[in-house]
Copies of this chain bind each other. A is one copy, B any other.
Amino acid sequence: MLEKLFRPSSVAVVGASRNRDKVGNIVLRNVLSTFRGKVFAVNDKADSVEGVKANRSLKEVKNVDLVVVAVPRTVVPQVMEEAVQVGAGAAVVITSGFRETDEEGARLENELVSIARKGDVRVLGPNTLGLVTPAMNATFAFADVLRGNVAVVAQSGGIGVYMLNWAQRTRTGLSYFVSLGNQADVSETDVFQFLAEDLETRAIFSYLEGVADGSRFLDVVPDVAKRKPLVFLKGGTGKGGAEAAKTHTGSVAGSGELFRAAVRTVGGIQVDGLEDMLNLAKVLTADEPIRPDVLVVTNSGGHGVLTADSIESSGLKMVTLTPGANEELKKVLPPQSLPKNPLDLSGDADSERYRRALQIVQDLDCTKLVIVQSLPMVSCSEVARVALEFKGKGVVTVVMGLDEDAASRTLELARMPAFRFPEDAVKAISYVLKRRPPQRKIRVPQPLEEARELVEGRKYLPDYVAMKLMELYGVRTPRWAVVEDPSQLNEAATKVGFPLVVKASTDEPIHKTEVGGVVMNVERDSLEQAYKLVSSKFKRVLLQRQLHGVEVFVGGLRDPAFGHAVVVGIGGVHVEVIKSLSYALSPVSEDEALEVMSESKVTQLLTARNRNYDLGSVARTISTISRLIVDLNVREMDVNPLMVNEEGAYAVDVRIEL
């Protein structure tokens, strides 16, 4: 239970320095100026700090819920012992220099956690900036934030401070602010779980570099996202960034792709950067309903053109106005203008023209993106006041010009989203609409008995064993046969049929084409020659019926954080070049598989030029493989190509590592 952490009745600050530049002093002052419950200061040298009587040791304190620790790292385990002794329920360890720094730090971190766990003390940190609740500020940031409905959860202290500053600057009210630090005990998932139940929190914004426990994350977070929007900014998606993250919060930044797949699974929204997160916050903290169809209303043709471009390229849709609305709008527009979308009210529009136009379109089922460029006839503030009259009608505004600050303040105080650039508004809207329904992934290995026997004791599956495994799972393969001796060649070839492919058959995966281990398009008259060529280098040879069709790539992998996942893309050599890949966590339903196929453009490839290739059997294969890798705990596998034509999908080359 995190009640004592997030809703304590009493707080002790240990390391409450008298020096006003010290972290311990700043935390104490922040707590004193915000918290109405009992506050204890602990300082081993002074009798009082900031006008409060100081205790020499935590042991002297009775009935404390939460202990905030700001003492040198070597002393922290001792303080934790004392916290256990006095029956504290939670601790915020602000001190840094633990796992993120060196081995000694890692050892101290393990020590403090094991003391805390034994004594039932939940620990936030170490290496945290602290915590803001509706009732107190227990951080060492001077954050004078309003109470409100937005929760911020940040793994990095610096990003945390930035978000606090942002809240202050934009007068965004916060419910909770949690700096996670090293997550030695309390993890991001714990915090999300608490915030899901918290009645004051309407939306959660997080900065994470990795997750503490991927499988718990996948278990718990879908229920959080069912209750309120949950936004993720991931640090360390690139190599350099991941490297930096390691020494920064001691976290191993997981694979960016898998993180993205996990966010989609749990129903979160992942943004591409800090600015995008702030822009999305404008929409999520407002009360306006957001629709994917957009009507643009503007007084500048150029703004309309740029906005339409941006709507199109972001996958939203410009609506077509109804004939009825068109008739009405004609009366509002200047003589020679025709109503259309973007609706150009023209440079001489005053705020009354905006009002009349909005009255006409207010009940259309679309987002009204109202853009105003301040011009001699109209200011941003005037149009902002008009927009307020249409609150709740799906109005998003863009205010551009000298008084844009004042106008956006007017709108945001009324919980209406206001942007400075059309592109930012469009991007924020498209983030909201990209959210998927939260899903729980149930991963129960149920391998077939025969499958388990096939893989038993192996690290790699020989190619023909991999083929057998595919067949056991109901994935089709082109007809094939193994030839270990020239005498078997003709019978095997007859069984397979022509044209066929003669391939080296190996126990471990190799790039067969590169070592001259593959001859394609073999007919009966060239069979012997092709066999001789391949068998001169490789003892065992695989014959496989040659198929035509489109090549699709289906891979499977086991991620250290999020477990088993599939990856799908355009196949053959293109997979390496185009990198149009899409990931999904196991198990994958046929329906989700279709989504992944569309994202990775596999669907488009299978249906190009009026092809009628079998999408369903590809989806089925993806779904099967997503289960197979869980059943057999596969480390990495790929089917490349999965050859698809009108008759179905066939696993042609299969590589499996257990």
- Contacts from A to B (Cβ < 8 Å): 21, 26, 97, 101-102, 105, 140-142, 154-162, 165, 168-169, 207, 209, 233, 235-245, 247-249, 253, 272-275, 298-313, 318, 336, 338, 340-342, 344, 347, 373-376, 400-402, 420-424, 499, 511, 513-514, 520-521, 523, 548, 550, 570, 573-574, 576-578, 580, 601, 604-605, 608-610
Is B511 a contact of A609 with CB atoms below 8 Å? yes
Q: A273-B310, A421-B275, A423-B273 are in contact. Are A400 and B608 (CB under 8 A)?
A: no
Is A312 a contact of B26 with CB atoms below 8 Å? no
Q: A300-B156, A573-B609, A577-B605 are in contact. Are A305 and B162 (CB under 8 A)?
A: no
Is A373 a contact of B161 with CB atoms below 8 Å? yes
Is A240 a contact of B608 with CB atoms below 8 Å? no
Is B142 a contact of A336 with CB atoms below 8 Å? no
Q: Closest CB of chain B to A25's CB: distance in Å?
A: 11
Q: Which residues of B contact A601 (CB under 8 A)?
A: 577-578
Is A514 a contact of B610 with CB atoms below 8 Å? yes
Is B340 a contact of A244 with CB atoms below 8 Å? yes
- Which single member of B238, B248, B298, B311 contacts A309 (CB below 8 Å)? B238
20 extra interface residue pairs, beta carbon distance < 8 Å, beyond A244-B304, A514-B609: A140-B376, A142-B376, A155-B302, A157-B300, A159-B306, A161-B374, A165-B400, A237-B309, A240-B309, A240-B342, A247-B338, A249-B302, A274-B421, A274-B422, A275-B421, A513-B609, A514-B610, A521-B521, A570-B574, A574-B578
Q: A235-B309, A301-B158 are in contact. Are A423 and B573 (CB under 8 A)?
A: no
Q: Which residues of B contact A21 (CB under 8 A)?
A: 376
Closest to A336 in B: B101
The 9 closest A-B pairs by CB, nearest first: A158-B300, A156-B302, A248-B301, A238-B312, A159-B302, A241-B309, A240-B308, A235-B305, A241-B308
Cα distance, A610 to B511, chains bound together (Å): 11
Is A577 a contact of B608 with CB atoms below 8 Å? yes
Q: Closest CB of chain B to A127's CB: distance in Å?
A: 10
A-B residue pairs in contact (CB < 8 Å), sample of 7: A158-B301, A159-B306, A162-B401, A237-B309, A244-B344, A253-B305, A570-B577
Cα distance, A514 to B162, chains bound together (Å): 59
Is A578 a contact of B576 with CB atoms below 8 Å? no
Q: Which residues of B contact A307 (CB under 8 A)?
A: 241
Cα distance, A596 to B606, chains bound together (Å): 27
Cα distance, A375 to B275, chains bound together (Å): 19
Cα distance, A499 to B523, chains bound together (Å): 11
Is B241 a contact of A305 with CB atoms below 8 Å? yes
Is A304 a contact of B574 with CB atoms below 8 Å? no
Cα distance, A487 to B304, chains bound together (Å): 66
Cα distance, A318 to B239, chains bound together (Å): 10
Is B605 a contact of A311 with CB atoms below 8 Å? no
Q: A402-B165, A402-B168, A521-B521 are in contact. Are A240 and B312 (CB under 8 A)?
A: yes
Cα distance, A570 to B580, chains bound together (Å): 13
- Which single member of B97, B238, B580 contacts A313 (CB below 8 Å)? B238
Q: Closest CB of chain B to A248's CB: distance in Å?
A: 3
Cα distance, A159 to B309, chains bound together (Å): 15
Q: Which residues of B contact A312 (CB under 8 A)?
A: 238-241
Cα distance, A303 to B243, chains bound together (Å): 13
Is A375 a contact of B161 with CB atoms below 8 Å? yes
Is A236 a contact of B299 with CB atoms below 8 Å? no
Q: Which residues of B contact A247 (CB under 8 A)?
A: 301, 338, 340, 344
Cα distance, A300 to B376, chains bound together (Å): 44
Cα distance, A239 to B374, chains bound together (Å): 27
Q: A159-B300, A574-B570 are in contact. Are A374 and B237 (CB under 8 A)?
A: no
Q: Which residues of B contact A154 (CB under 8 A)?
A: 302
Q: Closest CB of chain B to A162's CB: distance in Å?
A: 6
Centre residue among A235, A309, A520 by max chain B CB count within 10 A: A309
Cα distance, A299 to B308, chains bound together (Å): 40
Cα distance, A347 to B523, chains bound together (Å): 71
Cα distance, A601 to B580, chains bound together (Å): 12
Q: Closest CB of chain B to A398's CB: distance in Å?
A: 10
Centre residue among A101, A156, A160 by max chain B CB count within 10 A: A156
Q: Which residues of B contact A421 (CB under 8 A)?
A: 273-275
Q: Closest CB of chain B to A209's CB: distance in Å?
A: 6
Q: Which residues of B contact A570 (CB under 8 A)?
A: 574, 577-578
Cα distance, A324 to B155, chains bound together (Å): 33
Q: A570-B577, A576-B608, A578-B601 are in contact. Are A303 and B158 (CB under 8 A)?
A: yes
